[in-house]
Structure 1
Amino acid sequence: MRASFVALGLATLATPVVAQDKPVLTVLTYDSFTAEWGPGPAVEKAFEEGCGCDLQFVAAGDGAALLSRIQMEGAASEADVVLGLDTNLTAAASATGLFAPHGQTWENTLPVAFADPLFLPYDWGWFAFVHDKAKLPEPPKSFEELAASEVKIIIQDPRSSTPGLGLLMWVKAAHGDRAAEIWEGLADNIVTVTPGWSEAYGLFLEGEADMVLSYTTSPAYHLIAEEDDSKAAAPFAEGHYLQVEVAGKLAATDQPELADAFLAFMGSEAFQSVIPTTNWMYPAVTPAAGLPAGFETLIQPGTSLLLSSDEAAAVRDAALAEWQAALSR
């Protein structure tokens, strides 16, 4: 993370003869990306080996909070690259006029066609409700079954979290005009709403709820990192909503060449190969060695739901209002 300006100033005063400073590339991202167990450390090390620069990640809460911060800071933002938005937010991000074309030509291997002049994908996954198989051996198999059950769930706030917003889009894409009715049914299943994914998943692991909104890939973490096969994602009859996470270059960056180099590096084997077992998502470019052992055990939704960025922007306010109305009763 970015060192304080005071600390930098003291270091400069204490060392009057300094080697040529390396240029700094600042990447604004979400908390879990920069965690010691997240992709950040490995990505930083690999990129710095070839860039002759200092790559600094700055964490700003969960994914949806990134857009709010950029909108607030505007062209005065110290960030050069924003990493962690998704397709539910890219229309709003584009409308700010703060992002520049990326100019990259590397191809992704996403399960859907994706091409955007401002934003590049770096991973993807399906949203799902994760449960402990021993504690909940027969989970609900649809939103309607969940609403009719006594199962307790933890979800994330759609105003600050991309999974939270993704859940709104999932319900909207699956049930359309019945979305408000679905939320009314789900309201009494919700134990709490957290600002971001990390808090929600932590509470679930502490036993505070039966299920948590996460990803179909989350059980791979427990299986691969912990040799624990007790967690599973519940397949829903409606299908599962697809999340594509993206990064973009800010137009006001004072390091445009480094920003371009980082976006190019994002499509490389060095970046993409660490995604499955650090961010626990599917990589945007399948590594040469394929996916790690354990990913073959994950559920594969029969139906993938995804609203275009413009469609997501068009329904966001109405979907948020339906969610708020249901939870306020």
Structure 2
Amino acid sequence: MSVTTLPQVAARDRAPPRRRRPLWALAAFPAAALVAAPVLSVLGTAIAPADATWRHIVHTTLPDYLLNSLLLALLVGLMTASAGAIAAWLVTACRFPGRRVLEVALLLPMAMPAYVCGYTYTWLLDVAGPAQTLFRDVTGLQWGQYPFPEIRSLPGAAVVLAMVLYPYVYLLCRAAFMQQSVCLLEVSRTLGHGLPRTFLHVALPLARPALAGGVALVLMETLADFGTVQHFAVRTFTTGIYEAWFGMADRVAASQLAACLMGVVALLLVLERLSRGGRRYHPMTTRHPPLRPVTLRGFKAAAASLACAMPVLLGFVIPAGGCCGWR
């Protein structure tokens, strides 16, 4: 017969009650299985022995796929990080004309498909488009006598993708800025730092997890895009997968290219995670007073309004206007 001592009874009384898992938590397992099924299917097909098609791709087009995909991801990541973070900081920390409307309108490009935006800008800026036609009529110059950026290029595709994907960064960075401690921002202001230096040296480093998360979503959307890069004649992994599957009728080679693409995405995420470690960059609490926006006037107010309005104009208003004009 066992004897229960007083310390054991006290420890048992202090132990928290065991909680039951809610039923909705159990639904996460089948949901995760459904999400993982396509990935596992691709990886399972990709481990098949290399055939002649795969060896041909490796020796001819795979370097171009890899280089173009990395350059496209780099350009889109830099542009979306800059536009999204700056717009989020302006609508959070400043008061200027149109701020209330722009803080919601900055999400509108998320509703515009990237390929539709690409069709609009190629129609607008191509050699036979309205912009160059008007320029030739006004100046009297012929095509080839004036410099004009080529829209059907890798930089052109990067700009179009950045126009519609920056809301991922904007949304996460705005939430991070609103959760930051006002005390740190006020200390920076009392030390003589203006809004730009406070943004660069205090607010942006604290919002690094949100910035990295938004850029990661942008990169995955960029690397998975097919319609836009195909329209701009940029050969990336997605075009290679399409050509291997439907052009060469080789599902194994297409799966191997898809596995390479998933490996590139996983590598980018792992590198960011390792560089950040387990450090926390902003407090997850609401025990601090809300941030008091600074009122801008004159040139600064106009510049802030223009900086927040340009992404909406380029990423939603012009493509939507072009779609309405084609009716």
What TM-score range do you get, normalising by the shorter chain?
under 0.3
Structure possessing the higher relative contact order (Cα contacts under 8 Å, 6 or more residues apart): 2
Q: Which has the larger radius of gyration?
A: 2
Q: TM-score w.r.t. structure 2 length? A: 0.23
**Going by fraction, where is strand more abundant, 1 or 2?**
1
